[in-house]
Amino acid sequence: MVTNKDFLTHKPNESLSVIESLDFPLLKDKKIKLDVKREDLVHTYLSGNKWRKLKYNIEHAKRLRKSTLLSFGGAYSNHIYATAAAGKLYGFETIGIIRGDELTADNETLNFAIQCGMKLKFVSRELYRKKTEPEFLLELENEFGDFYVIPEGGTNALAIQGCEEIVSEDDFQTYDVIAVMVGTGGTFSGILNASKGKSHILGISALKGEFMNTEIENLIVKFDLKGYQNYSILTNYHHGGYGKSSQELNDFIPEFTSHTQIPIEFVYTGKLFYALFDLIAKDYFKPQTNILAVHTGGLRADRRF
């Protein structure tokens, strides 16, 4: 079982999410201010947007007197990892419906989930695609009993509400650009909705394809968000697709971390900072632009978590 004292006794602390300024010759040459919102510091195991997405879901589950959280993910899902940690910290039983193969000894994500007390159920990809269908959920209820469902990736209305709190109203007044990675779109949508049309919200897609703008518009409609249009999403910094990397990204990550002492990984945050430095070098931003980059955590992904 997990025995780390901090894990057992300390819950996420949002006050630890400070803003740090970066100091690179490129930034001085281009007259760009680049700061980092350190959401990764909120908690060792349950940080960044994963905590923000789970925060109000946990409160709602408690109000409903649910004792079990059930969610879905792949074998290396940061969301499954975070849900297991949240269950351990907040006194919930947890169930993970895992897409694909059985547990392997070297899968530290799922082994960590098990150590936190999570029950795992492995299903075929075909069955996994039915994860939102009432019939499949009823089968799971018959097998596991009553539970509170958190969707794959954690994105729902309560998750977006939590992500709205990542960037403060003062930050929207201070920074011209708020930059964040985009996966399922929940974190981006929350920040966009909180912006009230202020700042430019720049998304860097972690996924290969041109569909992300449509996904954001769908989330705006689905969750009745304000529909602010002060945003853009760049889709050419995926480095091969979700969970994939490139030699350029592999070279950039250790150099950035060595210079800043800020850890980043190749699935999300590495791609964010690679994109920003590339865009700055190519004069994408006007001189005197103030940029806030949101570090969304996910640091276990550097070991395929």
Confidence at 302, pLDDT banded by 50, 70, 90: very low
**What are the tens digits of pLDDT across the range 121-133?**
999 999 999 999 9
Q: Is the pLDDT at 305 greater than 50, yes or no?
A: no
Domain formed by 48-154, architecture: 3-Layer(aba) Sandwich (3.40)
Confidence at 243, pLDDT banded by 50, 70, 90: confident
- Give alpha helix (H) positions in the chain: 5-9, 25-30, 48-63, 78-90, 108-115, 125-128, 134-144, 157-163, 169-174, 186-195, 212-222, 247-260, 269-281
As a whole number of angstroms, the distance between CA 269 and CA 196 comes to 25
Domain formed by 5-44+161-303, architecture: 3-Layer(aba) Sandwich (3.40)
Q: Is the pLDDT at 1 greater than 70, yes or no?
A: no
Check residue 102 and give its pLDDT: 76
Check residue 5 and give its pLDDT: 44
Confidence at 223, pLDDT banded by 50, 70, 90: very high
Q: What is the mean pLDDT of residues 96-107?
A: 84
Cβ burial, residue 241 (10 Å; 0-12/13-18/19+): exposed
In terms of residues, how long is the chain?
305
Check residue 55 and give its pLDDT: 97
**pLDDT above 90 as % of the chain:** 86
Going from the C-alpha of 164 to that of each of 11, 70, 120, 170, 200, the distances in angstroms are 20, 24, 31, 13, 15
**What are the tens digits of pLDDT across the range 3-59?**
454 555 689 999 999 999 999 999 999 999 999 999 999 998 898 999 999 999 999
Q: What is the mean pLDDT of residues 64-81?
A: 94
Work out the mean pLDDT of the chain and round it to a whole number: 93
Sole residue written with tokens 């059930």: 70
Phi, psi for 157 (deg, rounded to 5): -60, -40
Q: Is the pLDDT at 303 greater than 50, yes or no?
A: no
**What are the tens digits of pLDDT across the range 137-186?**
999 999 999 999 999 999 999 999 999 999 999 999 999 999 999 998 99
Contact predicate 253/264, CB 8 Å: yes
As a whole number of angstroms, the distance between CA 44 and CA 51 comes to 11
Domain with CATH 3.40.50.1100 in the chain: 5-44+161-303, 48-154
What is the helix (H) or strand (E) element at residue 99, kind and residue range?
A: strand 93-99
